[in-house]
Structure formats: structure tokens, C-alpha cells
């Protein structure tokens, strides 16, 4: 029996990850850990935990003895990392270090999925795109630096202690249920509310940037393949391989909603520095692990809009 420990089990990606196993009839037992009092998912064991508490992690690991750890707990907002950089490091780099150190001290041997970010690459000129795993990392925001540090810890523990750690550099992902602190659901919520209230103004930041968006259901397909079949110490880009300007996505959303927004730049939403174009190369993931993205961006947008409209 696969025993999978999921950190951050109340998060956006974790729910889809568990659903993936159920939809594909992959037999597994799950235990979720999170800081909340209860778990939002049915049918899995749960332990409330602060991942900064090393002894609590050790107790859960020793009792459950996971065969796999999917580490989704994080503070993954770039904008929040500018506002609260210490929190970004604590809830990315430090909690991951606690997990691998607990695994090492207990002598356990689970396969561990370490989630990183496309933000690690930093700014590359357009002629150097798409971004490949062997490129030098040039992080230019606190969140990106925290993720680079997490990746370095992953490699250290894989190389020095022989832990089965696999790493991702995950590009932007979207889908129904994503929190409104992220760009796409923020645009959708503002437009739905504005249309309902006969307003036109939508507040935006820098919408000239280009990002590589992937549906969360394609993301968890990649995560399953990397966690179960990826090579120890390897890093994999998780991306579509296509770039979309935020202004064009706003227009797609407006067309679907049948709404004409008046876009106003909010200076508080403009970051001190920003990666201008992020497009990834997923050929390693496709070649080595036979992964393919299958959900078009328009489908992701339409389903996210429908979900948010239903929520009200």
C-alpha cells in the first residue's frame, strides 16, 4: 500500500492531487497535515501541525511511515513575499528543511516531492526562451530566492544523505478553486462583481508580463509521475511551453463573461521588480516521464469562471 503524506492538504493543489488518484483508481492511503484545525478533504487521515515544529513532524512520520511525501505547504504568492519576506522564507525553505531533516534523523526512506517555481529562473531575454532546467538560476524576488534555497537543500539531502528527493520548477497554474490573491481568479472576481453591479473598473498591476499557464489537473498529473517515477535528485519543469500576456488573458475572460472592463493600474499591485517573460521547456518531463498537457487554457478559464460565478 502506498502511504502518502501530504503537507498543506487544505491547499488548492492538494485537493486535485488526491482527486487524481481516485479518478485514476490508483490505490493509496493518504494522511494530510496542515495548520488548520480540520482537513477540507473527506476520506483521508489528518493531523493538525505547525511544520516549524520538528518534533511534531518526527512524531507523525514515525507513526505513519509514509512511502511518499508530497510537500505542497507553502506561501506561494510573489506579491506577498515582497510584503512579508521573512514569512516567505519560513514557510518555504525552513519547513522543507524540517521535513527532510526529520526523515534523515528517523532513518526513513520515502520518495519526496519538492515543489519549486519558475520564478527561480529570473529574467532571461526572449531569444533564450523557453527556459530549460540546466539554465543558471537568477531569482529576483524574495519568494524565488526562498524556492532556490529549498531546491539547494533538496539536492544536498539527495546527494549527501541519499534521500529520494525529486524537484519541480512549476510554472503558473490555474483552475477552479484557486484563491483570489492570484492574478487570474482576481481578474475573474473583479469582472464578475463589476458586471453584476453595473460598474466597469477593474484594478490591475503590470499586465504586460507574459506567463506560461497550465491547468492544475495537468499539474497534478505531472506531480504524480515525478513523485512515483522521477529520478532522485532531478529537477523537472512543469509547464505548458506557451506564453500568454496577462492583458490577452483579461480580454479572453471579458469575452467569456461578455463584459467590457476599464482597466486601471493600481500602484500597490506593481512589484518592485518582475520577470517580464516566463515560458518553460517541458521536453524533459514529456520525454522521460511520458507526460503531456491535455487541458486547453480556454477550458481552464471557462471552468474557473463558472466555479466563481456559482460561488457568488
Tell me the mean pLDDT per 10 residues along the chain, length 312.
Answer: 96 96 97 93 93 96 98 88 91 95 98 97 95 97 95 98 98 95 95 96 94 98 98 98 97 97 92 87 98 98 97 80
pLDDT score of 58: 97
pLDDT score of 105: 97
Residue with cell 506593481: 270
Q: Is the backbone of residue 114 left (phi > 0), alpha (psi -120 to 50) or beta?
A: beta
CATH code: domain 183-209+243-279+298-311 is 3.90.25.10
Strands 164-170 and 173-174 come out as: unpaired
pLDDT score of 60: 97
pTM, 2 dp: 0.96
For the chain, the domains span: 2-174+214-241+280-294, 183-209+243-279+298-311
pLDDT score of 52: 94
Cell of 109: 526512506
pLDDT score of 274: 81
pLDDT score of 158: 98
**Residue 131, number of CB atoms within 10 A of its CB:** 24
Q: Do 245 and 179 meet the contact criterion of CB atoms below 8 Å apart? A: no
Superfamily of domain 2-174+214-241+280-294: NAD(P)-binding Rossmann-like Domain (3.40.50.720)
Which residue, 64, 77, 74, is CA-closest to 32? 64
Amino acid at each position: 500500500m502506498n502511504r502518502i503524506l501530504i503537507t498543506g492538504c487544505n491547499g488548492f493543489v492538494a485537493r486535485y492531487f488526491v482527486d487524481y488518484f481516485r479518478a485514476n483508481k490508483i490505490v493509496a492511503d493518504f494522511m494530510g497535515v496542515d495548520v488548520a484545525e480540520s482537513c477540507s478533504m473527506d476520506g483521508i487521515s489528518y493531523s493538525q501541525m505547525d511544520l516549524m515544529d520538528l518534533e511534531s513532524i518526527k512524531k507523525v512520520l514515525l507513526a505513519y511511515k509514509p512511502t511518499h511525501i508530497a510537500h505542497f505547504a507553502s506561501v506561494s504568492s510573489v506579491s506577498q513575499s515582497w510584503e512579508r519576506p521573512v514569512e516567505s522564507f519560513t514557510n518555504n525553505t525552513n519547513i522543507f528543511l524540517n521535513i527532510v531533516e526529520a526523515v534523515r534523523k528517523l532513518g526513513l526512506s520515502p520518495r519526496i516531492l519538492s515543489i519549486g517555481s519558475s520564478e527561480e529562473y529570473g529574467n532571461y531575454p526572449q531569444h533564450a526562451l523557453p527556459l530549460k532546467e540546466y539554465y543558471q538560476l537568477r531569482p529576483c524576488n524574495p519568494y524565488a530566492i526562498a524556492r532556490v534555497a529549498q531546491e539547494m537543500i533538496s539536492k544536498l539531502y539527495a546527494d549527501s544523505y541519499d534521500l529520494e528527493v525529486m524537484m519541480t520548477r512549476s510554472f503558473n497554474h490555474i483552475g477552479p478553486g484557486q484563491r483570489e490573491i492570484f492574478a487570474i481568479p482576481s481578474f475573474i472576481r473583479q469582472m464578475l462583481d463589476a458586471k453584476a453591479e453595473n460598474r466597469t473598473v477593474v484594478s490591475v498591476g503590470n499586465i504586460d508580463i507574459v506567463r506560461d499557464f497550465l491547468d492544475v489537473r495537468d499539474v497534478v498529473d505531472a506531480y504524480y509521475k515525478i513523485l512515483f517515477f522521477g529520478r532522485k535528485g532531478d529537477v523537472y519543469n512543469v509547464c505548458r511551453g506557451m506564453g500568454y500576456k496577462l492583458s490577452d488573458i483579461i480580454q479572453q475572460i471579458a469575452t467569456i463573461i461578455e463584459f467590457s472592463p476599464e482597466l486601471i493600474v493600481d500602484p500597490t499591485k506593481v512589484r518592485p521588480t518582475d520577470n517580464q517573460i516566463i515560458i518553460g521547456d517541458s521536453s524533459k518531463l514529456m520525454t522521460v516521464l511520458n507526460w503531456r498537457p491535455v487541458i486547453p487554457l480556454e477550458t481552464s478559464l471557462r471552468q474557473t469562471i463558472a466555479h466563481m460565478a456559482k460561488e457568488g
